Amino acid sequence: MLRIAVPNKGSLSEPASEMLREAGYRQRRDTRELVLADPDNDVEFFFLRPRDVAVYVGAGTVDAGITGRDLMLDSAADAEEHLPLGFARSTFRFAAPTGEITDIAQIEGRRVATSYSVLVGQYLAEHGITPTAIVHLDGAVESSVRLGVAEVIADVVETGTTLRAAGLEIFGEPILRSEAVLIRRKGVEAPAGLDTLTRRLQGVLTAHEYVLMDYDVPQSLVDAAVAITPGLESPTVSPLHDRDWAAVRAMVRRSETNQVMDALYDVGARAILVTSIHACRL
Ligand SMILES: Nc1ncnc2c1ncn2[C@@H]1O[C@H](COP(=O)(O)OP(=O)(O)OP(=O)(O)O)[C@@H](O)[C@H]1O
Ligand SMILES: O=P(O)(O)OC[C@H]1O[C@H](OP(=O)(O)OP(=O)(O)O)[C@H](O)[C@@H]1O
Ligand SMILES: [Mg+2]
């Protein structure tokens, strides 16, 4: 039975469970449940603190887990990324009071507050910068400068709203770009069942990323239309009752749906229909 660690709290928890549900797995209904068996799929889920997921995976007591790339790296566990999952996207950045610091070299001799001390320590060491201290905080790191425990912070930034509200601005290059990832233990053979989990999660990602597009097009324009919708392998082209026309079906990136419909219409396609993909296995 494959043992999978899933975040029990925080911003990763709900989307991780939702993705597993879409991939056909049982998920808990009560957030106090710590373990959940899914015998039909031969897996067992362990709901753990997001920071601890990589520790268990690295120790080999669970076979795989979902966590943030930033959390995995900060844990320094013996775990590696197996599949990026596309949610909880964020950057990890330095920030300081607006206008005060423009270059990471200025961190030298200053205190840096963060919840990711290992990541920050490694990054500064790699850049030859020695802060006075790395102040480890559990959260609400943006308040640390105003409250006088640090001059600089390093924290998760998505929209930047929290930073701005605290009178801070980012400086330097992103330390890291993060997102939710499926992780496994480093350097060991893939556990039985991981392939199936991976394929199912990839199926969910594809179903989110693509739509199915159907349209009718005059036979003489099929090549021009198919050039716009090449599909993943090759689009399905079927004859219509009116032999001068063909029906085409292809997968199209969801983000490009409207541009593709405009382009198809311009070359002469009509009755263009877009359908969401519920599930798929490529
Ligand atoms: N606002 C956000 N947007 C996108 N990703 C985020 C955001 N906040 C945190 N994350 C990501 O979520 C993961 C952190 O999960 P964790 O549960 O520790 O934090 P959290 O959501 O801040 O929870 P909490 O603050 O309740 O402890 C990291 O991978 C981080 O990059
Ligand atoms: O750039 P933004 O869109 O504002 O998002 C980033 C903020 O979101 C998270 O905070 P969270 O609400 O989880 O609080 P925490 O700092 O206590 O973890 C993160 O730690 C940042 O503070
Ligand atoms: Mg947080």
What is the distance between the alpha carbons of residues 70 and 170, in angstroms, rounded to a whole number? 18
pLDDT tens by residue, the chain, 282 residues:
999 999 999 999 999 999 999 999 999 999 999 999 999 999 999 999 999 999 999 999 999 999 999 999 999 999 999 999 999 999 999 999 999 999 999 999 999 999 999 999 999 999 999 999 999 999 999 999 999 999 999 999 999 999 999 999 999 999 999 999 999 999 999 999 999 999 999 999 999 999 999 999 999 999 999 999 999 999 999 999 999 999 999 999 999 999 999 999 999 999 999 999 998 988
Q: Which ligand is nearest to the CA of 12?
A: 1
> Is the Cβ atom of 262 under 6 angstroms away from ligand 2?
no
Query: Distance between the two ends of the chain, CA-based, in angstroms?
Result: 25
Q: How far apart are CA 256 and CA 259, in angstroms?
A: 6
- Token pair 């292809």 is at which residue? 250
Report CA(104)–ligand 2 centroid distance (Å): 22
Any idea what DSSP says for residue 86? S
Q: Which atom number of ligand 1 is nearest to the Cα of residue 92?
A: 31
Report how far residue 173's alpha carbon sits from residue 224's, in angstroms, rounded to the nearest whole number.
Answer: 43
Distance CA 226, CA 205 (A): 24
Q: Which of 141, 156, 157 to mutate to test the pocket of ligand 2 (most atoms within 8 A of CB)?
A: 156
Residues with CB under 5 A from ligand 3 (ion): 139
- Measured in Å, residue 10 CA sits from the centre of ligand 1 at 6
Nearest ligand 1 atom, CA 139: 25
Using CB distances shorter than 6 Å, the residues near ligand 1 are 9-12, 50-51, 68, 70-71, 88, 90, 139, 156, 158, 178
User: Rounded to two decimals, what is the model's pTM?
Assistant: 0.92
Per-residue pLDDT tens over the stretch 23-74 = 999 999 999 999 999 999 999 999 999 999 999 999 999 999 999 999 999 9
Q: Is 171 exposed, middle or buried (0-12, 13-18, 19+ CB in 10 A)?
A: middle
Largest CA distance in the chain: 78
Domains annotated on the chain, with CATH: 2-88+180-192 (3.40.190.10), 90-173 (3.40.190.10), 209-276 (3.30.70.120)
d(CA 184, CA 80): 6
For residue 244, the CA-to-ligand 3 centroid distance in Å is: 59
Q: Which residue has 């957030």 as its token pair?
A: 31
Give ipTM to 2 decimals: 0.95
Contacts of 164 (CB under 8 A, 6+ apart): none
pLDDT for residue 282: 82
CA of 45 to the centre of ligand 2 (A): 27
- Name the residue with the closest Cα to ligand 2, atom 5: 158
Instruction: Return the pLDDT at 218.
Output: 98
The predicted structure's pLDDT at residue 132: 98
